[in-house]
Amino acid sequence: MNRSRTSECTQMLGTHTSRIVGRFISFEGTEGGGKSTQIALLADRLRAAGHVVRLLREPGGTPLGEEIRHTLKHSPAGRGMSSEAELLLMNASRSQLVREVIRPSLAAGEVVLCDRFADSTIAYQGFGRQMGWQTVKPIIDFAVDGTWPDLTLLLSLPVEISELRRRQRAAQASTAPQDRFEGLDREFFCRVEQGFAEIAKSSPSRIKTVDATQSVEAVADQIWSLCKQLLNPPRS
């Protein structure tokens, strides 16, 4: 959340009532790492523990964002899209999601689980499309205006395994059309993976890397223990 602005307002109003503040958790990683499965398992555990959970995805998550998602992934209009247009559309969707859903959800005390967020832009557009971290970061900052996840779970997978899982999935869903990202080459996904690794190194307190080659249960347990630390920090 944009904590500085909120605390400024609290001071201006001179109120001492405790604020309800939710938690914002994003999931990142290349395809095939099991994000959807892990998000569903975490949501079940959080709900069982009494939390109100909001499930979101990027690009998407609002009516406008879902239209942008279609343009980015499947629309014939997206063929030949420039990297610059892709970067701006990702962030158009994100800016709407932050203001229309994420901030109100956090203000209501919900736990927001988002399948991808700003780190994907650094990895895919910054590294994958080779636009550079310095180019994409100011645009992300404009879109999110201080709303960053409290915790980011990076499901990490070697490129060869990710590629294999993507191919297996595509073979199972042979009738579904490939999206604009699925057909990109191995070099692109190697750069994306390298991007995620560098982002994780740069923000070690927010981004926790989880080895996605482990069993589903082992990954879920590790994620749950990281989330418990966020939701119930030890008293100092």
Contact (Cβ atoms closer than 8 angstroms) between residue 198 and residue 207:
no
Q: What's the closest the beta carbon of residue 8 comes to ligand ATM, in angstroms?
A: 29
Closest residue to ligand ATM using C-beta atoms = 124
Q: What's the closest the beta carbon of residue 180 comes to ligand ATM, in angstroms?
A: 8
Stretch that binds ligand ATM, among 17-25, 114-122, 169-177, 224-232 (CB under 6 A): 114-122
Residue of 46, 71, 106, 124 that binds ligand ATM (CB under 6 A): 124
Which residues are CB-contacts of 101 (< 8 A; sequence separation ≥ 6)?
54, 56, 61, 62, 112
Spatial distance between the Cα atoms of 185 and 190, rounded to a whole number of angstroms: 9
Residue of 46, 89, 90, 144 that binds ligand ATM (CB under 6 A): 90
CA 192 to chain centre: 14
* Count of beta carbons in the 10 Å neighbourhood of residue 126: 25
Which residues are CB-contacts of 129 (< 8 A; sequence separation ≥ 6)?
83, 86, 87
Contact (Cβ atoms closer than 8 angstroms) between residue 123 and residue 199:
yes
Residue of 57, 103, 191, 208 that binds ligand ATM (CB under 6 A): 57
Q: What's the closest the beta carbon of residue 172 comes to ligand ATM, in angstroms?
A: 15
Residue of 83, 159, 181, 214 that binds ligand ATM (CB under 6 A): 181
Residue 54 binding ligand ATM, by CB under 6 A: no
Q: What's the closest the beta carbon of residue 25 comes to ligand ATM, in angstroms?
A: 15
Buried b (16+ CB within 10 A) or exposed e, 140-166: beebbeebbbbbbbbbbbebeebbebb
Residues found near ligand ATM in the complex (CB under 6 A): 31, 57-59, 90, 116, 120-121, 124-125, 181
